[in-house]
Structure 1
Amino acid sequence: MAQVKPDFGPGEIRSYLKVSGWSPVSGSELAELWRFRDSEDKVVLVPMKPGAPDFAKRANILLSDLSQLESRDLRAVHDAIATVYHDVTDLRASHPSLSDGSIPLEAGYELFMSAKRLRVASAAASIRRQGHFRNFPLRAKDQAREVRLGQTRRGSYIVPIISQARSPEDVYVPQQEHIDIEVEETLFDRRVTATMSRALGVLEQMASSERRPTGSEIADSVGEGVSYELCRALSKVVNADSVAALDITFNWSRVASPPPGSSNRVEFNRDAIEIVDEVSSRLKSQLYTHEHVLYGVITDLSRRPDDATGRVGIETLIKRRRRTVWFDLADEPYHLAVRCHDTGTPVRAQGVLASPPGGIATMEISHFGPDRSLGSDA
């Protein structure tokens, strides 16, 4: 039997089995038996002590059983369990000359560097919607150190980006009084991946249109996370020798719902990159007003019966520190804020932020609603 070194623990195994149709039937602190739906024959043993001397052996037996039951390669099953709490974004460079699974050194270098550039640009857009950053926020630069790269795979040439994801039901409660800084830091990865997916989807739509994008459409794309830096990251790969196209596939974590409106796959060939370069040039030469994006929970609500607007306080992270930001909402969005507060739904607020040191932080809101990057709604 083929052996692999398990890169997961009992938590990942149990979560994977649960979303795959399995349920526990008996167990102890040492091991559990899980059955597939109502089948009497499909039963597997889950080792529960990762520090036990035989954990790797028992995990390999489990992998072998699942590999046979799912008719999949053992390594593929291992990777699916190991990344059950993660989103995996596959960057694939393709060209007829890449049929042997290799890639020229220079093109490979640009692909790996673009993996970094795409993440950092998307992280920056998750903090501020801005057409051209020039200087990235420090939090965005940290993305390159926090996400991981998986092993390259055959299929032209595939580089997987592995980033964290977590279901909002696990971390938010109704009428929550404070955010958890550690949780918010973890969820930032999923928010970045959601921004990257939406921004690339908008770019692909503009690039595949029969007409050139208008200035208004390019300005609107900034609100979806498109930036000069994101466009350049794509161009660097597709304009490299021996690369005819770049496609990006988003494999969303099975324990966190895919963000509504996100793209599962986008592709850019040489023709599409001509449009991307045009968008890039317009974003670099034209100044668009930048807006901040805040994520957090509603902690304060205030409105008198005769008021046209209501006062709302959102607790969020600004420069990795907990801060309450105040803004006014009209009738309908205010009631939405009330529902989000009552149900413990995380929210997203976008607009012009004023946060003087030591003073009250306020925002002039342009967009407000549930944080859909986590698959949540209200």
Structure 2
Amino acid sequence: MTLYEQRIGPEEVRSYLHSQGWVSVAQSPLAQIWKDGARGEWEVLVPLHTQAADFDKRLRILISDLVHAEQRDQNSIESDIASIFLDVTNLRAAHSSLIDDSIPLQAGYELFGSAQKFVVASAAATIRRQGYFRNMPLRAREHAKNVRLGHTKRGSYIVPILSQARAPELVYEANQEHIDIAVEETLFDRRVTATMSRALDTLSALVSGSRTPNSSDINDAVGEGVSRELCRAVEAVIKSDAVDELDISFNWSKVSSAPAGSATSVKFERGSEGIVGMVSEYLLSAPQAAEHVIYGVITELKRRPGDATGRVGIETLLGGRRKIVWMDLVDDAYHLAVRCHDRGVPVSARGVLNNAPGKIAVMDVIDFGPDASLFSAGAMDVDSIPGQS
């Protein structure tokens, strides 16, 4: 595979070098010189003019220099640079008798089909927490059209799902008056992958525990993004005689922190399909109570002395348009909202949304806080989130 096919360009190279601790020490309109920030023993030249006749040659020299500097093989370095702006979810079907990293046609068909179902179900749960989606939200179906599959990889049978993770350097500013629609659309990809990770991790824990999950366990799992559609996608793979286990690993983009509460890997073993099916059937028959999830910035704060709750307005995207959703938050949650507003920290809220046409949108909140899909677990303390004030 050529470097062009790997989608390696100046932006990918510079972001990769920055993530590895290299620093830019000189530049011209045609190239930059970067120095190894850890030891200072290596310098590399990064070509910037993609239309130059020797661009590919210079890029190959750069990769060769990195191979020697990092003491890693070329394919691994090229892959890491090419995926620097991607969250990569690897679906791995494992079986002790697989031949030459191949699997039977039917098992492969189910694995590829499940990749699409994972994305759609996770996109739907990013918008609405619901045990069973009789009709998937249009945005969830449209999102799946933009997600790509990478080349299958060696190692049992691995299908990579590629999602964009180009979070802006400064997501939002303190006391921001409006959300940026273009930014919000960009961040949706990361939010979907974060939902997928948490939902699959929750489902795996649910079906691999020492006891059979009860209705309370399953209902709580819905709040984490588990749905009947997600269950059926898992079940379709692990019920195959050609698959001993389904491993799902999440390789988060190096330009964005791994989302708080996300998993790095999840496993479903053969034999668990019965419990997965039971959870799926429960979600089909259980009463449906949809909880919407909104993302945005706090633009309105209202509270009078002595009030038990404070009124908070979050500007979000509803139907592709900016709209303020109002909610009442108790004391601790309201003070958290104030700090998020003052530092420009994006937030998320989950609850029952009333968005009747022509009326003020209000939410009965179940959960509120900084947007966990954008920050690592260590940065979920609002006061520690850098670059927003």
TM interval, short-chain normalised: over 0.9
| Higher mean displacement: 120-129 or 284-293 | 284-293
Matches of 2:364 and 2:58 in 1, distance apart?
A: 56
Aligned to 1:120: 120
Give 1:7 shift. 1.0
Give 1:72 shift. 2.9
The within-5 A match list for 1:324-343 is 324-343=324-343
Aligned to 2:90: 90
The within-5 A match list for 1:124-203 is 124-167=124-167, 169-203=169-203
Query: Which residue identity does 1:197 align to in structure 2?
Result: S
SS in structure 1 opposite 2:202? Answer: helix
Does the 8 Å CA contact 1:219/1:288 hold for their aligned counterparts? no
Give 1:167 shift. 4.1
Aligned to 1:8: 8
Query: Which residue identity does 1:83 align to in structure 2?
Result: S
Matches of 1:133 and 1:3 in 2, distance apart?
A: 42
Does the 8 Å CA contact 2:235/2:273 hold for their aligned counterparts? yes
Aligned to 1:73: 73
| Higher mean displacement: 19-28 or 151-160 | 19-28
CA offset digits 1:10-63 (Å, max 9, x no partner)? 221111101112111212111111111253431111111223222222112111
Aligned to 2:374: 374
Does the 8 Å CA contact 2:348/2:369 hold for their aligned counterparts? yes
Matches of 1:205 and 1:92 in 2, distance apart?
A: 18
| Higher mean displacement: 3-12 or 193-202 | 3-12
SS in structure 2 opposite 1:311? Answer: strand
| Higher mean displacement: 331-340 or 69-78 | 69-78
Aligned to 2:46: 46
Instruction: Determine whether 1:34 maps to 2:28.
Output: no
CA offset digits 1:158-180 (Å, max 9, x no partner)? 11111011446522111111111
Instruction: Determine whether 1:291 maps to 2:278.
Output: no
Matches of 2:72 and 2:241 in 1, distance apart?
A: 35
SS in structure 2 opposite 1:96? Answer: coil
Q: TM-score, normalised by structure 1?
A: 0.96
Aligned to 1:256: 256
Does the 8 Å CA contact 1:13/1:46 hold for their aligned counterparts? yes
Matches of 1:138 and 1:176 in 2, distance apart?
A: 29
Query: Which residue identity does 2:3 align to in structure 1?
Result: V
Aligned to 1:103: 103
Does the 8 Å CA contact 1:93/1:244 hold for their aligned counterparts? yes
Aligned to 2:351: 351
Matches of 1:55 and 1:242 in 2, distance apart?
A: 46
Q: CA RMSD, aligned part only?
A: 1.5
Closer, same or farther: CA 52–168 of 1 in aligned 2, 3 Å = closer
Does the 8 Å CA contact 1:195/1:224 hold for their aligned counterparts? yes
Q: Structure 1: 5+ residue runs without aligned partners? A: none
Give 1:341 shift. 0.6
CA offset digits 1:118-142 (Å, max 9, x no partner)? 0100110010000001110001111
Closer, same or farther: CA 169–328 of 1 in aligned 2, 3 Å = farther
Give 1:206 shift. 1.3
Matches of 2:29 and 2:113 in 1, distance apart?
A: 45
Q: TM-score, normalised by structure 2?
A: 0.93
| Higher mean displacement: 359-368 or 4-13 | 4-13
Matches of 1:169 and 1:299 in 2, distance apart?
A: 21
Identity of aligned residues (%): 58
Does the 8 Å CA contact 2:22/2:38 hold for their aligned counterparts? no
Matches of 2:168 and 2:39 in 1, distance apart?
A: 32
Give 1:74 shift. 2.0
Q: Structure 2: 5+ residue runs without aligned partners? A: 383-389
Query: Which residue identity does 2:324 align to in structure 1?
Result: T
Give 1:83 shift. 1.4
Give 1:288 shift. 3.5
Does the 8 Å CA contact 2:148/2:161 hold for their aligned counterparts? yes
Matches of 1:79 and 1:118 in 2, distance apart?
A: 24
Runs of 4+ with deviation above 4 angstroms: none
Matches of 1:32 and 1:100 in 2, distance apart?
A: 43
Does the 8 Å CA contact 2:35/2:44 hold for their aligned counterparts? yes
